[in-house]
Amino acid sequence: MKSVFAIRHVHFEDLGAFESVFGERGYQIHYHDAGACDLACVDALAADIVVILGAPIGANDEDKYPFLVEELRIIDRRIEAKRPTLGICLGAQLMARALGASVYPGTAKEIGWSMLALTREGRSSPLNPFDQAPVLHWHGDTFSLPKGALRLASTAITENQAFEFGPTALAIQFHPEAEPEGFERWLIGHACEVTAAGVSVSELRSSMRQFGVSSALRGRACLTQWLARLYSSPGSTPKNRQDLQASYSNP
């Protein structure tokens, strides 16, 4: 059976809307909870797909959270081997860092819903269901675009909302996996951050009721397209990291 290894940092930030897509396509999901299991024992190349999920910590915080070193190792090995890897929120930041880009505080915390604008490359990517659609954001840090990566999406606050590095590595800063079911756990688990940022819990709850169902449908469509593209040309060989980084330069 095909497998997905999902590295999870807080229990309520799971695969969400993505779980049903993986299940319908015959993937067995294995969660690896950072801080609870030894990521050093995880075979980086064993799974068909690795997903690195979000967390209320920074991608540069390995002095506080040493397991981040192992996550970077896993990402680095998978990118080098051209194995399908998906990063969401913190996962996207770690992918950017593994590719040599900087991760740093954004101009403002981006918590809540705002419109996503796709680049030309983004409109022809699996993110196309999200073009000019409201998406859920929950981050304070951002990252520079890695050399060799293609920017796929931006918002008014965050220029680099998503990138792809060849056909097998996709990094998404916003939350395409979020869905209304279970969202109350986000509001409880992130209570301190929401209060410190001056964001209204009532408005977040109301916006999820307004946008959540359609956003989850877009998220499932996005993942479905990404999986289809991964295996649409089994005979083709993705470029290696050096070739990709030589093909582009940061804007």
Residue 235 has a pLDDT of 46
Q: Is 237 exposed, middle or buried (0-12, 13-18, 19+ CB in 10 A)?
A: exposed
- Is 105 a residue whose pLDDT tops 60? yes
Averaged pLDDT, 104-115: 94
Residue 246 has a pLDDT of 58
Cα separation, 9 vs 29, in Å, equals 16
Of the pLDDT bands very low, low, confident and very high (cuts 50, 70, 90), residue 250 is very low
Rounded to 5°, the CA angle 60-156-14 comes to: 50
Residue 244 has a pLDDT of 57
Of the pLDDT bands very low, low, confident and very high (cuts 50, 70, 90), residue 1 is confident
Listed in sequence order, the residues at least 6 apart from 238 whose beta carbon sits closer than 8 Å to its beta carbon are 82, 166, 167, 168
Domain 2-243, CATH class in plain words: alpha beta
Q: What is the DSSP letter of 99?
A: T
Token pair belonging to 164? 């792809």
Cα separation, 11 vs 230, in Å, equals 28
Average pLDDT, the chain: 93
Q: What pLDDT, in 10s, does the model give residues 20-72?
A: 999 999 999 999 999 999 999 999 999 999 999 999 999 999 999 999 999 99
Q: What pLDDT, in 10s, does the model give residues 199-223?
A: 999 999 999 999 999 999 999 999 9
> Domain residue spans in the chain?
2-243
